[in-house]
């Protein structure tokens, strides 16, 4: 059955991610691990804060992980690619692991300081909204309880809440018990369906300015034509030459 093969493949990929999480150094700050099957083999992409700790000197750590994946999971030609994360506080997996390591280092007594510090780092990185939920013993009392840290705007339903929000889980094993961490981040580049963008129209020139530009500057003013003088006839000239008669008083 195709469905059973699909489920087996997903379980296999989950085991590969758990294996890589255990064998990669925690100081590397590894984020989400993506596994993709290609015609050349199996491509594994790891995004981390410090890629050098995963690669190792001369690629020694990558070679060990590649050989272990071949023998344990029987992968054909596994190719591990490591990339650096530009903004680690916008990656939910990295934030959840950092909170878990802080709990293992300082204990559950400082859970409020750890939670609020992580929330401020996420919002300062440019996230629209964030939510951190810490559950376990010692949060805040001896009984197992849950504490929620939230800020900004967070979508709770719809397709955006499923595909657009980056979410991750982690845990910290303490003496008092296990503490679970859930992180949700709404990235700044998410496209919301109810967000309306207003585009500014280009400014049109005024009518007076447009007409002034159309008329060339070198155009001369139209000169008014004077009426032509009438030439006198021969009879009129003869009458003018005759002496005028003197009138007696």
Parts of the chain belonging to CATH 3.30.1140.32: 89-186
User: What was the pLDDT predicted at 249?
Assistant: 46
The pTM (predicted TM-score) of the whole model is 0.70
244 or 13, higher pLDDT: 13
Phi, psi torsion values for 125, nearest 5 degrees: -75, -10
Parts of the chain belonging to CATH 3.30.300.20: 2-85
Question: What mean pLDDT is predicted for residues 94-123?
Answer: 90
The contacts of residue 221 (CB under 8 Å, 6+ apart) are: none
User: What CA–CA distance (Å, rounded) separates 187 from 90?
Assistant: 7
Average pLDDT over the chain, rounded to an integer? 82
Q: Under CATH, to which class is 89-186 assigned?
A: alpha beta
Highest-pLDDT range among 81-85, 184-188, 192-196: 184-188
CA distances from 241 to 95, 231, 233, 238 (A): 122, 17, 13, 5
2-85 — its CATH code?
3.30.300.20
User: What was the pLDDT predicted at 161?
Assistant: 86
Nearest to 148 by CA among 100, 110, 111: 111
């Amino acid at each position: 059955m195709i469905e059973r093969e699909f489920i087996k493949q997903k379980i296999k990929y989950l085991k590969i991610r758990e294996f890589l999480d255990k064998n990669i150094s925690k100081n590397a700050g590894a984020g989400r691990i993506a596994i993709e099957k290609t015609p050349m083999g199996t491509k594994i992409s790891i995004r981390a804060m410090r890629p050098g700790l995963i690669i190792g000197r001369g690629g020694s750590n990558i070679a060990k992980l590649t050989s272990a994946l071949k023998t344990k999971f029987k992968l054909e030609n596994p190719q591990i690619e490591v990339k650096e994360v530009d903004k680690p506080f916008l990656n939910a997996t990295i934030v959840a692991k950092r909170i878990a390591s802080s709990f293992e280092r300082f204990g559950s007594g400082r859970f409020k300081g750890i939670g609020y510090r992580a929330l401020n780092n996420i919002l300062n990185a440019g996230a629209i909204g964030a939510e951190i939920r810490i559950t376990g013993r010692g949060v805040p009392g001896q009984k197992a309880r849950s504490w929620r840290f939230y800020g900004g705007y967070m979508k709770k339903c719809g397709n955006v809440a499923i595909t657009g929000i980056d979410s991750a889980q982690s845990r910290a094993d303490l003496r008092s018990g296990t503490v679970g961490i859930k992180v949700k981040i709404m990235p700044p580049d998410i496209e919301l369906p109810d967000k309306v963008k207003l585009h500014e129209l280009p400014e049109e020139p005024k009518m007076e300015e447009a007409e002034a530009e159309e008329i060339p500057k070198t155009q001369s003013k139209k000169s008014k034509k004077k009426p032509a003088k009438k030439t006198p006839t021969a009879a009129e000239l003869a009458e003018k030459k005759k002496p005028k008669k003197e009138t007696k008083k």
